[in-house]
Amino acid sequence: MTFATLGLIEPLLRALETLGYQTPTPVQAQAIPAVLAGRDLMAAAQTGTGKTAGFALPLLQLLTLEGPKVAANSARALILCPTRELAEQVHASVAEYAQHLPLTTYAVYGGVSINPQMMKLRKGVDILVATPGRLIDLFRQNALKLNQLQTLVLDEADRMLDLGFSEELANIYRMLPKKRQTLLFSATFSDDIRLLAGQMLNDPLSIEVSPRNVAAKTVKQWVVPVDKKRKPELFVHLMRKGRWKQVLVFAKTRNGVDALVDKLQGLGINADGIHGDKPQATRQRALDRFKASDVQILVATDVAARGLDIEDLPLVVNFDLPIVAEDYIHRIGRTGRAGNTGEAISLVCADEVNMLSAIEMLTRQTLTRKMEPDFEPEHRVPDTDASGQVVKKPKKPKKPKASGGGGKRNLGKWVDSGEVAPAEPSIKPVRKVPVFNTGPRKKK
Ligand code: AMP
């Protein structure tokens, strides 16, 4: 199969040739004809599958061949993305695909001044890539009208809900024309996503290019149990032992990112960090330097790293496990792309056992544990498996119950009590259900 047989027009084929795309990826092979035929789409596809071209190519073609010229302060197609980085990245791809077409493209997101964005929108743009919050700001300030909108793309919809954008999406939904084409892309399909799809899509074609909620098979994954306080030391040890060259490291919090970067830099290791507290320009610079191999270790939070297209990354390290199990799939999706093998190593301490269990249940696999000599944890990480059970430790003789529950924080509950820990409540994100079909909303 070629892009020409999918029915793409010559200016797009020429752009693809320049980019060196020879064969459509599975998501492209399915999405391109469906979008060209005007269908709504509900696609399960992770970053790295070629999903951006899957929606952008047919979208560009439809906009070129159909519809009126874009009016002032209007957009004909809107691509919603969860983060600034992803918006920039998607926009860069769209602009590349559109290089021989008479279409205008632009990206808007928060964290930078709104005025230049308002100026730019005056003439209207054919394709607008946006993060939800900034889009709403622009709409409310009358810098953008959506009555000319033909197509809406929700990129990484699961992530938008995880980041708490359900209310923004509901607001945007009310701003849209009823008659439009809608394409929804999501790496995972939770009930909330299905609810959103039910509201936003009209008789969608479902596309699934990788098994649902199953992490890429080409990624070798394992876990190193360790005590929490020894994680930085273990990381440095593994890095030196494995002669790691370029590693993307995930930490749970912004402080965690900063602390690890400081520690690594203190040891003369070339490391940088990205998280939501850093200005956009600083984040972009760190990312560019990492991509250019000027930075060896990039430490990131999930939000900052979401959707980043870093190719051929050999190794991803989870310094902390993600609170949301689906993020594990997103994280390790940075490696093992396009048939390359990759490795994903998770440093797991005892109080992350419920997260580990949730990840194993979601990915339907029991992750191999490799104990690192001299780093065996004092606080044992209870056994887990893909059934979601945290396997209890052999019971110690029962101690008399102490009054007041002083004891060790967290540990007692699932290590000593002999109970099977409830995996769900502590890991599942508290997501607001999209509000499209609910009654009057309470003010925050
Ligand atoms: P995406 O999943 O959209 O983030 O794309 C992942 C990477 O694959 C990007 O670097 C794209 O440029 C690249 N890519 C997408 N489609 C193709 C294709 N058909 N052939 C080669 N590379 C592609």
Q: Domains of the chain: which residue ranges? A: 4-208, 219-391, 399-439
Tell how far the Cα of 253 is from the centroid of ligand 1, in angstroms. Answer: 30
390-391 and 383-384: which strand pairing? antiparallel
**According to the model, what pLDDT value does residue 255 have?**
94
Residue nearest to atom 11 of ligand 1 (CA): 50
Using one digit for the tens of pLDDT, what is the confidence trace for 273-318? Answer: 998 788 878 888 888 899 888 999 999 998 777 656 666 688 999 9
pLDDT at 333: 76
Helix (H) or strand (E) holding 423: helix 423-427
Q: Phi, psi (5° rounding) for residue 46?
A: -85, 165
- Burial category of 338 from C-beta neighbours within 10 Å (exposed 0-12, middle 13-18, buried 19 and up): exposed
Q: Which residues of 305-325 are buried (b: 16+ CB within 10 A; e: fewer)?
A: bbbbbbeebebbbbbbbbbbb
Give the residue, by CA position, lying nearest to ligand 1 atom 18.
21
Q: Is the shortest distance between the CB of 47 and ligand 1 below 6 Å?
A: yes
- Residue 48 Cβ inside 6 Å of ligand 1? The answer reads yes
Pocket test for ligand 1, best of 6, 12, 52 (most atoms within 8 A of CB): 52
Distance in Å, CA 223 to ligand 1 centroid: 29
Query: pTM (2 decimals)?
Result: 0.60
Whole-number Å distance between alpha carbons of 153 and 60 = 12
Task: With both helix axes pointing from N to C terminus, report the angle between 191-200 and 166-175 in degrees, rounded to the nearest 10.
Answer: 10
The CATH number of the domain covering residues in 4-208: 3.40.50.300
Q: What token pair was written down for 46?
A: 């992770």
Cα distances (angstroms) measured from residue 152 to each of 182, 195, 289: 5, 17, 33
What is the structure's pLDDT at 421?
30
Give the integer Cα–Cα distance in Å for 427 and 315: 25
Residues in the chain, pLDDT under 50: 211-214, 395, 400-444
> Which residue among 1, 21, 310 has the greatest number of ligand 1 atoms within 8 angstroms of its CB, and so is best to mutate?
21
Residue 149 makes CB contacts below 8 A (sequence gap 6+) with 74, 75, 76, 77, 78, 176, 177, 180
pLDDT at 251: 96
Q: Please give the pLDDT value at position 338.
A: 56
State the DSSP code for 356.
Answer: H
Q: Cα–chain-centroid distance for residue 185? A: 11
CA–CA separation, 173 vs 169, rounded Å?
Answer: 6
**Topology agreement, domain 4-208 and domain 219-391:** yes
Q: Report the separation in Å between the CA atom of 49 and the middle of ligand 1, taken as the mean of its atom positions.
A: 7
CA distance 349 to 351: 6
Q: Could you tell me if 16 and 3 are in contact, meaning their C-beta atoms sit under 8 angstroms apart? A: yes
Query: 160 is written with which tokens?
Result: 């938008």
> CA–CA distance from 318 to each of 110, 157, 248, 361 (Å)?
28, 23, 9, 18
Tell me how crowded residue 81 is: count the other CB atoms within 10 A of its CB. Answer: 27
Q: Which residue has the tokens 């209207």?
A: 124
- Residue nearest atom 19 of ligand 1, based on CA coordinates: 24
Q: Distance (Å, rounded) from C-alpha 196 to C-alpha 363? A: 23
Pocket lining: 51 vs ligand 1, CB cutoff 6 Å? yes
What is the pLDDT, as a whole number, of residue 325?
A: 83
Q: How far is CA 187 from the centre of its chain?
A: 8
Tell me what pLDDT residue 80 has: 98
Q: What does the pLDDT read at residue 394?
A: 52
> Could you give the CA distance from residue 156 to residue 274 in angstroms, rounded to a whole number?
20
Measured between alpha carbons, how far is residue 317 from residues 117, 223, 333 in Å? Answer: 37, 10, 12
Q: How many CB atoms lie within 10 A of CB 270?
A: 14
pLDDT tens digits for range 390-401: 765 554 555 544
3 state DSSP class of 154: strand
Q: Which residues have a Cβ under 8 Å from the Cβ of 401 and sit 6 or more positions away?
A: none
Q: Pick the residue whose CA is nearest to atom 14 on ligand 1.
A: 50
CATH number, domain 219-391: 3.40.50.300
